[in-house]
Amino acid sequence: MTAEAISPERKLHWYDYIFINTNWFALTLRSQVLAGLVVPLLVQTFVGEEQKGTYFGTIRLWALMTALLAQALFGLLSDHSRLKWGRRRPFIFLGALLEAVIILSMIWVASLEGMTGYAILFGVYLLSMISSNMSQAGTQGLIPDVVPQPKRGIASGVKMLLEVPLPLVLVGLVIAPMISRGQMPTALVVTVAAMLVCMGLTMLVREKRLETAPGPLNWKPFLSLALMTAVFTVIILGLGQIVKWSIPALEGASRFVFGAIGVAAMAAAVVAGIFASLAVHLGKEARQNTPFTWLVISRLAALVAINNIASFLLYFIQEKFGLPREQAAGLAGTLPMVLGGFVVLFGLVAGWLSDRFDRKLLTFLSGLIGAAGVVVIVVGPNIPLMYLAAAIIGLAYALFNVASWALGTDIIPKERAGEYLGLQNLAGAGAGAIGAYIGGVIADASGYVLMMAMFGVMFLLSAGAALFIRK
């Protein structure tokens, strides 16, 4: 195909929608394989059972903060790119190639031992976050750039299909079983092959070079985001350190005490982190628009639960059901596939509900439903009930994702919609960092069943914060 733009007057073919969105498949696939299976398994191998939660939480914290900044940086650079291939495809191409090399290098990393292995894994994983977010920054600009406004609903629907259920099916049915049989190198090769195919298809997008100069780079938004990220990171590190100091001092205390400390630290990180970060970026506006602040707090609390249930699922399954690492990896790959399927199924209903009922009420209910799903996870005595829990949390996530985002569009300043909606990305990155860094320490002291219960309380915090949102 020629590198010409898809204009509003030009008809989009069915394959255009696939080419535009196929790299979302690669990005989700990479995230599920690395964050959900490979990295936790390698951390467990390198540091042992007693401290795996703490060390995995540390690597997640710095990886997610790196991702937040990398995505913003490459998004800014791609906005100003005047390369012949277009604004977005060069970043997708280079990011995917670098990511392929980095993932394949993990085959060698897996052969290492001890803290040397952990240190090298730490560095390699941070490089992976940089390269993958270079690719993602380009990918998320394709729909606004090349799809006419009346067709973006269809394009977004294809994006959801390629981003959520399909890569999870590949992980659950193909890659996780490979890892469960001890074939991690083969699983990584399959992952890289699928990512390169997706990248190749994305290169067929009909994107053209930016003909007019976009003006000088405005670094102010990026520098503001960097400062926000720094403030958020310092808060998480500080509260995490308090938790680390508290555990030895309370040796012999009940698990309830440790759980209460963990919940208090997570809640403080969510509330203080958002208030402080938004104050850095918005100044007085943050105090004048408290509904938006509470919306981001609600989103962050829910994502702390959702993201970290998936991230620590492998360790939880090992503890609760006493499965060996490889067998637990198979189940840890299958359950997200079930959850993703129900997210898509319930997402259609959630969209209908959010157009007809109060969105604040639906956001509140999503937190209660999520907490109910966690109750099933914690008290369920067998594996079949874990699939039921995945379905319930899938319902909660679908309802939360649609209703809270739509609620955000209701309360933000319309003339600055892009800026305000972009600030919600802080919730996505901060969620994984808070739950992993603070929760991992508690889990090492009191177990992963307790950690899951803590995430249930975070769902309740999300529901409570939604009640403070006033239009």
Burial class for 4, CB neighbours closer than 10 Å (0-12, 13-18, 19+) = exposed
pLDDT at res. 79 = 78
Mean pLDDT along residues 419-440: 75
Q: Which of 439, 325, 331, 334 is nearest to 42 (CA)?
A: 325
pLDDT band at 458 (very low <50, low <70, confident <90, very high): very high
Contact at 8 Å (CB) between 200 and 19? no
pLDDT band at 2 (very low <50, low <70, confident <90, very high): very low
Answer whether residue 237 shows pLDDT above 90: yes
pLDDT at res. 218 = 75
Residue type, 369: I
Which ranges of 312-424 does DSSP label H, i.e. alpha helix?
Answer: 313-321, 325-354, 359-379, 383-411, 417-423
Answer whether residue 391 shows pLDDT above 60: yes
Residue type, 144: P
Contact at 8 Å (CB) between 179 and 37? yes
pLDDT at res. 252 = 78
Residue whose entry in the numeric block shows the structure tokens 């913003």? 72
Answer whether residue 6 shows pLDDT above 70: no
CATH architecture label of 219-471: Up-down Bundle (1.20)
Answer whether residue 294 shows pLDDT above 50: yes
The CATH classification number of 1-208 equals 1.20.1250.20
pLDDT at res. 210 = 65
Q: Which of 452, 451, 441 is nearest to 239 (CA)?
A: 441
Answer whether residue 342 shows pLDDT above 90: no
pLDDT band at 256 (very low <50, low <70, confident <90, very high): confident
pLDDT at res. 9 = 46
pLDDT band at 3 (very low <50, low <70, confident <90, very high): very low
Q: What is the mean pLDDT of the chain?
A: 86
% residues pLDDT > 70 (the chain): 91
Domain boundaries, given as residue ranges, for the chain: 1-208, 219-471
This prediction has a pTM of: 0.86
Mean pLDDT along residues 2-26: 71
Rounded CA-CA distance 133/124 in Å is 14
Highest mean pLDDT among 88-102, 135-149, 323-337: 88-102
% residues pLDDT > 90 (the chain): 45
pLDDT at res. 94 = 95
- CB neighbours of 193 closer than 8 A, spacing ≥ 6? none
Domain 1-208 and domain 219-471 have a common topology: yes
